[in-house]
Amino acid sequence: MRLSVIQIQTICELAKQYFGNNAQVWLFGSRVNDDAKGGDIDLYIESPIRIPADLILAKLQFLHGLHKKLGDQKIDVVLRRADNDVDLPIYHIAKQTGVLLS
């Protein structure tokens, strides 16, 4: 996994701050592969937040916090609400190929 301990801690702390203590975060994509080079930070987050507008606000605040603490990097966030009945393939891919951070 190509994230430092500080980066992982920052991601987890900010996820809990903005998405709640029960939020779970997976890193997936190229940053999971130790042999790859470059790449953005792809995060999949399952959040207990149920109101879509609140979830969007949390995502914006989370990304803003990450950019302040980690610097200017490309960060992609895939979100899934706790009560979401939609089951997209990206959710399965992220969980199956990713690494659970928190």
The whole-number pLDDT of residue 42 equals 95
Model pTM above 0.85? yes
One-letter-per-residue 3-state SS of the chain:
CCCCHHHHHHHHHHHHHHHCCCCEEEEECHHHCCCCCCCCEEEEEEECCCCHHHHHHHHHHHHHHHHHHHCCCCEEEEEEECCCCCCCHHHHHHHHHCEECC
The whole-number pLDDT of residue 102 equals 86
Q: Which tens digits make up the pLDDT trace of 48-93?
A: 999 999 999 999 999 999 999 999 889 999 999 878 888 899 999 9
Q: Which tens digits make up the pLDDT trace of 14-46?
A: 999 999 999 999 999 989 988 777 789 999 999
Domains of the chain in sequence order:
5-100 (3.30.460.10)
